[in-house]
């Protein structure tokens, strides 16, 4: 029988709690952030435990009646994850709580120095398939103006952002504005332990992720970009690319953190998709901060995600995120006429030569 990893080997790795305490020092806002993140880690450990039961736990199969506040089909585990995170944050110094599962921002302790936005369970359509899913969070300073001014602000004003991945192991990717760090949940102590300090997203890669089934609905810049990739060695990029698609933002971004590449969820011509599909406050903004802190980029095609100011809780946005060179190249398809095609079907001839 294979033995478990040596306890001493795991224990030599720094814990997130130790790092948070050092980072926070005596600063009130930082101390509140550190405590809040630690409480979310505790909730994530319980979410991971419940996911680990699979169909035996009664949470996996079946959908709730109707949709959540953001308009997506709601699973039982979506609700459970939201309840676990909310319960954890009721005990933390959090003023306002915004969630994909709720119609409005919830008031917790208006005098608290920070506010939190979450997607409690991203990728829940994959629950039955045993594919990686996750939780996304974002921490903002509380404003004296109340809930909206605390959370409806540019993503660049985040204090911290992160996501948990519930997969073969449970991991956390987090930034406190000092780079992006991966941690893994130690199943024996339920502590998150550091894997590597300050990861860097690879810039030269051969992977992209997009749902090609929507090809006919895309606008010309995205069609042209994908057409050029699919032409492989004979195309303008001069090399073969591999396509990936998991339909879980956490899983897609985590792959980019590890291997580079680009993930695209553009707006398109379908009803309800004209402004994109992903939510700005609790999906795109935290992922953008994490990615930029790891040397990558995130835009809506042309505009930097972290410069966008939401005007409503469940506001949607297109998203292009990943290796900076790839994200910048996608933007050229929107702004540079030399990247246009004379027609846009797959493998069409390009209109102007480009390298």
- What pLDDT does residue 13 have? 87
Question: What mean pLDDT is reported for the chain?
Answer: 91
Q: In whole angstroms, give the CA distance from residue 58 to residue 291.
A: 35
- Measured torsion, CA atoms of residues 44, 104, 269, 291, in degrees rounded to the nearest 10: -40
- CATH 3.40.190.80 occupies which residues in the chain? 207-339
What's the mean pLDDT in 114-136?
93
Lookup: tokens for 43: 């909730």
Q: How confident is the model at residue 55 (pLDDT cuts 50, 70, 90)?
A: confident
Q: In whole angstroms, give the CA distance from residue 264 to residue 322.
A: 9
CATH architecture of the region 207-339 = 3-Layer(aba) Sandwich (3.40)
HSE, CB side, 13 Å, CA atoms: give it for residue 216.
1
Measure Cα distances from 55 to 66, 76, 124, 127, 275 in Å.
21, 12, 14, 10, 36
What's the mean pLDDT in 313-322?
98
Q: How confident is the model at residue 343 (pLDDT cuts 50, 70, 90)?
A: low
What's the mean pLDDT in 124-138?
91
Which pLDDT tens digit goes with each residue over 277-306?
999 999 999 999 999 999 999 999 999 999
Lookup: tokens for 1: 């029988």
Active site residues: 72, 78, 100-101, 119, 121-122, 283
What's the mean pLDDT in 130-135?
94
Which pLDDT tens digit goes with each residue over 258-281?
999 999 999 999 999 999 999 999
- Measured torsion, CA atoms of residues 333, 248, 44, 62, in degrees rounded to the nearest 10: 150
Residue 350 confidence (pLDDT) above 50:
no
Residue 75 confidence (pLDDT) above 70:
yes
- What pLDDT does residue 186 have? 96
Which pLDDT tens digit goes with each residue over 135-172?
999 999 999 999 999 999 999 999 999 999 999 999 99
- CATH 3.30.540.10 occupies which residues in the chain? 7-194
Binding residues for Mg(2+): 100, 119, 121-122, 283
Binding residues: 100, 119, 121-125, 211, 283
- What pLDDT does residue 353 have? 33
- Between vectors from CA 174 to CA 94 and to CA 48, what angle results, nearest 5°? 80
Binding residues for substrate: 122-125, 211
- Measured torsion, CA atoms of residues 266, 269, 270, 273, in degrees rounded to the nearest 10: 40
Residue 24 confidence (pLDDT) above 90:
yes
At 241, phi and psi to the nearest 5? -115, 150
Number of other CB atoms surrounding residue 239 within 10 Å: 10
Which pLDDT tens digit goes with each residue over 79-108?
999 999 999 999 999 999 999 999 999 999
Q: How confident is the model at residue 71 (pLDDT cuts 50, 70, 90)?
A: low
DSSP 71: S
Closest CA to 139 of 25, 12, 290, 265: 290
Between 76 and 69, the higher pLDDT residue: 76
CATH architecture of the region 7-194 = 2-Layer Sandwich (3.30)
Lookup: tokens for 37: 């993140």
Alpha helices in the chain (DSSP H): 7-11, 16-24, 28-52, 76-90, 147-151, 220-230, 249-259, 285-293, 324-335
């Amino acid at each position: 029988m294979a033995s478990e990893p040596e306890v001493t080997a795991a224990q030599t790795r720094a814990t997130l709690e130790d790092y948070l305490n050092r980072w926070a020092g005596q600063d009130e806002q930082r101390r509140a952030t550190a405590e809040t993140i630690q409480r979310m880690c505790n909730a994530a450990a319980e979410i991971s435990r419940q996911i680990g039961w699979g169909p035996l736990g009664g949470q996996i199969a079946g959908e709730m009646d109707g949709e959540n506040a953001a308009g997506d089909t709601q699973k039982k585990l979506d609700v459970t994850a939201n309840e676990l995170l909310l319960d954890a944050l009721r005990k933390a110094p959090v003023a306002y709580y915004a969630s994909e599962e709720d119609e409005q921002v919830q008031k917790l302790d208006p005098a608290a120095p920070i506010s939190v936005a979450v997607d409690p369970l991203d990728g829940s359509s994959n629950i039955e398939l045993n594919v990686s899913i996750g939780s996304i969070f974002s921490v903002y300073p509380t404003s004296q103006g109340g809930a909206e001014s605390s959370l409806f602000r540019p993503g660049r004003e985040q204090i911290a952002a992160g996501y948990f991945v519930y997969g073969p192991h449970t991991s956390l990717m987090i930034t406190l504005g000092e780079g992006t760090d991966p941690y893994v949940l130690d199943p024996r102590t339920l502590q998150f332990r550091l894997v590597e300090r300050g990861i860097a997203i690879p810039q030269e890669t051969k992977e992209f992720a997009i749902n090609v089934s929507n090809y006919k609905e895309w606008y010309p810049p995205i069609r042209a970009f994908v057409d050029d990739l699919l032409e492989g060695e004979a195309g303008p990029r001069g090399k073969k690319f591999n396509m990936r698609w998991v339909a879980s933002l956490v899983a897609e971004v985590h792959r980019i953190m590890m291997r580079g590449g680009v993930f695209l969820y553009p707006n398109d011509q379908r009803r309800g998709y004209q402004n994109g599909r992903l939510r700005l406050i609790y999906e795109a903004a935290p992922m953008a901060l994490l990615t930029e802190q790891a040397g990558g980029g995130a835009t809506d095609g042309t505009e930097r995600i972290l410069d966008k100011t939401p005007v409503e809780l469940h506001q949607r946005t297109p998203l292009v995120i990943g290796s900076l060179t790839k994200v910048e190249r996608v933007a050229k398809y929107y702004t540079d006429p030399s990247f246009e095609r004379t027609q846009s079907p797959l493998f069409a001839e390009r209109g102007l030569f480009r390298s």
